[in-house]
Amino acid sequence: GAGVSQSPRYKVAKRGQDVALRCDPISGHVSLFWYQQALGQGPEFLTYFQNEAQLDKSGLPSDRFFAERPEGSVSTLKIQRTQQEDSAVYLCASSLASRQPQHFGDGTRLSIL
C-alpha cells in the first residue's frame, strides 16, 4: 500500500493476556519506529529499527514489551501479561532513512479491561 498500515485497528484484551500489534511500513523505508500515545498527549517513543536491527529500545516501559522486525520490513510489537496502564494508541512510523520525516500509521487502539 501507499502508507503505513497497522493491524488490528482496535484491540480489547483482558488484563494478563498477551497481545501482538502489527506494522507494515512503507515499502523501501529503512527506519521503523513505535510510539505510545495516551489520550490528550503527544506520542512517546518506544523503539527504533534500522532494517532488522533494533538500534534503540530505551523507550520500552518494561520487559513485558518486546518488538521485532526479523526481515527488515514488517514489525510486531508484543506486550506480555498486559496491565490496565498499557491502554493507549500504539503508533508505528517509518521513514526512508534515519532523521528523515516519519510517516505514521493510523495506530492500534489497545484497551485492557
Partner 1 sequence: GQNIDQPTEMTATEGAIVQINCTYQTSGFNGLFWYQQHAGEAPTFLSYNVLDGLEEKGRFSSFLSRSKGYSYLLLKELQMKDSASYLCASGGGADGLTFGKGTHLIIQP
Closest CA to 92 of 19, 25, 3: 25
Residue 93 Cβ vs partner 1, minimum distance, rounded to whole Å? 8
* Rounded Cα–Cα distance for residues 11 and 27 (Å): 25
Give yes or no for residue 111 binding partner 1 (CB under 8 A). Answer: no
Which set of grid coordinates corresponds to residue 109? 487502539
Q: Which is nearer to partner 1, 17 or 109 (CB)?
A: 109
Binding-site member from 105, 108, 110, 112 for partner 1 (CB under 8 A): 105
Q: Which is nearer to partner 1, 35 or 65 (CB)?
A: 35
Q: Which residues, at least 6 apart from 27, have a Cβ–Cβ distance to it below 8 Å? A: none
Residue 38 Cβ vs partner 1, minimum distance, rounded to whole Å? 10
Binding-site member from 12, 55, 96, 113 for partner 1 (CB under 8 A): 55
Cα torsion angle, 35, 109, 17, 3, sign: negative
In terms of Cβ atoms closer than 10 Å to its own Cβ (0-12, 13-18, 19+), residue 113 is exposed
Interaction site with partner 1 (CB under 8 A): 4, 31, 33, 35, 40-48, 50, 55-56, 58-59, 91, 98-99, 101-107
